Amino acid sequence: MSEREPISEALDAVVDFYPPGQLPELAYGLIKRTYDIVADRLVPAKAEPLFHDIRQPETEFPLAPGSDFWPMKMATDVIVRGSAFAPGGNPVGSQMIRVTVGNEQKMIAVYGDRAVHWPARGQLRFGPPEPYTEMPIEWARAYGGCDPRVPVGIDPMTVAAWSKLEFDHPGVYPRNPFGKGYVVVDEPAEGLSLPNLEDPSALLRPETLITGDPRKWYLQPLPVCYEFTNYMMFQRYAWIGLESWFPPPADAPMREVALGLLPTNFAELAKIVPGDPMQPLAIQEGPMGMVYPDLAPGTPVIVEGMHPELAHVGFPIPAPPKVDFYIDGKVFTEPAQLTTVLVEPNLARVSLTWAARRWDLPRPFVPGIHANIPLALLIDDAHTVPYDSPPPLRDQVKQGGGGRPGKPKS
pLDDT tens digits, one per residue of 37-55: 999 999 999 999 999 998 8
Q: For residues 80 and 303, is the Cβ–Cβ distance under 8 A?
A: yes
| Strand 323-327 with 312-316, pairing | unpaired
Burial 313-334 (b: 16+ CB within 10 A, else e): bbbebbebbebbbbbeeeebeb
Alpha helices in 259-331 (DSSP H): 269-272
Tell me: pLDDT of 187 over 50: yes
- Of 276, 149, 286, the closest CA to residue 211 belongs to 149
Q: Looking at residue 168, what is its pLDDT? A: 76
Q: How confident is the model at residue 409 (pLDDT cuts 50, 70, 90)?
A: very low
- Cα within 13 Å of Cα(204), Cβ side: 30
CA 78 to chain centre: 9
Name the helix (H) or strand (E) containing 97.
strand 94-101
112 in Cβ contact with 94 (< 8 Å): yes
Does residue 389 or residue 287 have the better pLDDT? Answer: 287
- Residue 159: per-residue pLDDT: 46
Question: Which long-range contacts does 125-131 make (Cβ < 8 Å, 24+ apart)?
Answer: 125/206, 126/194, 126/204, 126/206, 128/93, 129/93, 129/94, 130/93, 131/91, 131/92, 131/93
- Residue 392's pLDDT is what? 75
Element housing 394 (H / E): helix 393-398
For the segment 251-260, the average pLDDT, to the nearest whole number, is: 91
* Predicted local distance difference test score (pLDDT) of residue 276: 72
Selected residue with higher pLDDT from 370 and 352: 352
* 60-69, 215-224, 240-249: the lowest-pLDDT one: 60-69
Task: Indicate the pLDDT class of residue 62, thresholds 50, 70 and 90.
Answer: low
Pairwise CA distance, residues 137 & 135, whole Å: 6
When pLDDT is averaged across residues 397-406 and rounded to a whole number, the result is: 52
**Antiparallel, parallel or unpaired: β 76-80 and 291-292:** antiparallel
Query: So what's the pLDDT on residue 390?
Result: 83
Mean pLDDT of the chain: 90
Higher pLDDT, 167 or 13: 13
What's the mean pLDDT in 209-235?
A: 96
Residue 263 has pLDDT above 70, yes or no: yes
The confidence score (pLDDT) of residue 63 equals 78
The amino acid sitting at 244 is S
Lowest mean per-residue pLDDT among 5-9, 21-25, 66-70: 21-25
Lowest mean pLDDT, pick from 65-69, 178-182, 267-271, 322-326 = 267-271
How many whole angstroms separate alpha carbon 57 and alpha carbon 63?
12
pLDDT tens-digit profile of 97-140? 999 999 999 999 999 999 999 988 888 999 999 999 999 999 99
**pLDDT at position 278 over 80:** no
Spell out the alpha helix ranges (H) of 155-308: 159-164, 234-237, 255-258, 269-272
Contact between 390 and 406 under an 8 Å Cβ cutoff? The reply is yes
Arithmetic mean of pLDDT, 6-21 = 94
The structure's pTM equals 0.91
Give the residue, 316 or 391, on which the prediction is more confident.
316
What proportion of the chain, given as a percentage, has pLDDT over 70? Answer: 90
Edge-to-edge strand ranges of the sheet holding 312-316: 197-198, 104-111, 94-101, 300-304, 312-316
Across residues 180-202, what is the average pLDDT? 95
Q: Which band of pLDDT confidence, cut at 50, 70 and 90, is reported for residue 152?
A: confident
Radius of gyration of the chain (CA): 24
Mean pLDDT of 183-189: 93
Question: Which is more confident, 3 or 148?
Answer: 148
CA distance 265 to 278: 20
Residue percentage of the chain with pLDDT more than 90: 73
Question: Cα separation of 94 and 82, whole Å?
Answer: 17
**Could you give the C-alpha distances from 87 to 84, 93, 227, 308, in angstroms and in order?**
9, 12, 22, 8
What is the per-residue pLDDT for 316? 99
Residue 389 has pLDDT above 90, yes or no: no
- In one-letter notation, the amino acid at residue 242 is L
Q: Which of 44, 33, 12, 3 is nearest to 338 (CA)?
A: 33
Q: Does the pLDDT at position 356 exceed 90?
A: yes
CA 193/CA 115 separation, integer angstroms:
5
